Homo-oligomer: A and B are copies of this chain.
């Protein structure tokens, strides 16, 4: 399928190296043949990002709303990190686009179940979504650079330590060691911070 081939090219060489000509070469087809199926390169990229937002995992339905919400956003994070060079392009999709509906409805339903009114649920959902996007897209950056340099499967070096000039930023250097923690744990800590009023 055309989208699958496009995703393979993106994951192998990075979204920066993706072009209609590169995709044509991969499919052994004239570079202009794709215009029968997608009006523009942008439309093709939008379709790719929608499949990343949607992901491949089932949304969980247990009896623990807090756990289910956490898992919803962990899934989004995993899907974005699986395609790190494509991840930043999800920002071109409005949050009202189809691919987000399932996640939005799932999260809002769990928040409702946990006793929140619609206004609070909407606020918490959006905060979780934007936090997840900001955190994960920042995280994807270093992974993406490794892919664009070394090709698919690159692991990206160890997370660089944050080293501010100590003389100028005394408070920051006390906190700096904690800014370097492993990213998954850091991500979950932020989720829990936002969800800390939910029953656990």
Contacts and interface: CB of A to CB of B under 8 A. Distances in A.
Interface of A: 88, 91-92, 94-96, 101, 104-105, 108-109, 112, 118-119, 121-127, 129-135, 137-138, 141-142, 160-165, 168-172, 174-179, 186, 189-190, 193-194, 196-197
A118 B178 CA distance: 7
A138 B95 contact: yes
10 contacts: A94-B141, A101-B168, A105-B169, A108-B172, A123-B193, A127-B131, A127-B193, A130-B131, A130-B135, A193-B194
A104 B175 CA distance: 10
Contact of A112 (B137, B162, B171): B171
B131 A101 contact: no
A122 B194 contact: no
Nearest to A178: B122
Interface centre among A88, A132, A163, A172 (most CB of B within 10 A): A172
Contacts of A132: 134
Nearest to A102: B169
A67 B161 CA distance: 29
B162 A123 contact: no
A54 to B, nearest CB: 14
A131 B122 CA distance: 15
Contact of A91 (B95, B138, B165, B197): B138
A164 B104 contact: yes
Contacts of A141: 91-92, 94
Contacts of A130: 131, 134-135, 138, 190
B104 A174 contact: no
A90 to B, nearest CB: 9
A193 B129 CA distance: 13
